[in-house]
Amino acid sequence: VAERPRVWVSQPLFDDIVSRLHAYFDVVQAPDVREHDEAAIAAALREVDGALVTLNERIGEREIASAPKLRAVANVGVGYDNLDVGALQSRGIVATNTPDVLTETTADFGFALMMAAARRITESERHLRGGKWTGWNFKGLLGADLHRSTLGILGMGRIGQGIAKRASGFDMQVLYHNRSRLPADVEGAYKASYVDFDTLLARADHLVLVLPYSPQTHHIVDAAALAKMKPTATLTNIARGGIVDEAALAEALGSGRLAAAALDVFEGEPAVDPRLLALDNIVLTPHIASGSLSTRRAMVTLAVDNLIAALGAGPDAGRPPTPIVPVTQGGD
């Protein structure tokens, strides 16, 4: 009897969904380890044909070098900066991600964060819970409007377009910047206008970051970029922490150069820069933008389908639904 392929599941996900793998593979389920170090990942990959991983698992040259049998890596998540896709693909290892299924949930959350920053919702709650609300105050905790303001979207991929769609209900003017301009009919559908990066910074009342993280986008929102924004503006990041220079952001928020920010992602997460934690005009959430129960289940379902197909099994053998094709345009 031929040996069954073996797959590694890097985190406890949803057992009822992951168990579909048992029909085709021997499954090695990692214990409840949220952050595997390089040695642990390399050891886990040594014996397996495939892996189901999350953003907590970085898979690069070194891990691949110690994984002679590896043929497929299914990432749970649309962003895949945790994977060295070039290294995987040059070894003929199929890499997949989970686009589309999380678009609307993530766009909802981006909008919620933007509103929370603009209307100072979490700051107000801290004020109340802290016993500082001593009486109704006409000028207390005044925020900025979303409706009829100018929304700036950096990264006009699926999630960026989801945010643009929501913005139309708020009568916002939508400006975007992207690696490449969208076709006129798509721009028209969202009433979105393409502008260069500097114009986006200068004109946005609320700027949302929804672009992939790469060496090219590392710290593109730095002190110089923040200095181009309106002092009344807000910045929301639901992409990856490394896109923003957090020290520069803390400085801008602390000095009144920028009104407010909302971050769901951090450069050194789960560690958060104490300079950000010390500020009141920032909303901080622990990377939960895609975190509705149904969407997280849909992500795992798609990742499992991808892994089965990428390893040549199941109804879509050899044709995983969402393989990663090196990105040449847009956000995610």
Annotated active-site positions, please?
240, 269, 287
Q: Is the dihedral of CA 220, 221, 225, 230 positive or negative?
A: positive
70's CB contacts (< 8 A; 6+ apart) are 45, 48, 49, 50, 51, 64, 91, 93
Within 31-70, which residues bind ligand 8YV (CB under 6 A)? 54-55
Angle at 324 between CA 320 and CA 328, to 5 degrees: 145
| 96 scored as a contact of ligand 8YV (CB under 6 A) | no
* Distance (Å, whole) CA 55 – CA 13: 13
How near is the Cβ of 287 to ligand 8YV at its closest, in Å? 6
CA-wise closest residue to 94 among 79, 113, 73: 73
Between 14 and 194, CB nearer to ligand 8YV: 14
How near is the Cβ of 213 to ligand 8YV at its closest, in Å? 9
Contact region with ligand 8YV (CB under 6 A), list: 74-82, 123-131, 203-211, 311-319: 74-82
| 17 scored as a contact of ligand 8YV (CB under 6 A) | no
How near is the Cβ of 102 to ligand 8YV at its closest, in Å? 5
Contact region with ligand 8YV (CB under 6 A), list: 75-83, 128-136, 156-164, 176-184: 75-83
Q: How many residues bind ligand 8YV (CB under 6 A)?
A: 8
* Distance (Å, whole) CA 49 – CA 259: 50
* Distance (Å, whole) CA 191 – CA 67: 48
Within 268-307, which residues bind ligand 8YV (CB under 6 A)? 290
How near is the Cβ of 109 to ligand 8YV at its closest, in Å? 10
Between 188 and 270, CB nearer to ligand 8YV: 270
Position among 79, 110, 160, 241 found at the interface with ligand 8YV (CB under 6 A): 79
| 102 scored as a contact of ligand 8YV (CB under 6 A) | yes
* Distance (Å, whole) CA 79 – CA 83: 9
| 76 scored as a contact of ligand 8YV (CB under 6 A) | yes
b/e sequence 67-90, b meaning 16+ C-beta within 10 Å: beebbbbbbbbbbbbbbbbebbbe
* Residue 285 CB neighbour total at 10 angstroms: 17
How many residues appear in the chain?
A: 332
Interface ranges with ligand 8YV (CB under 6 A): 54-55, 76-79, 102, 290
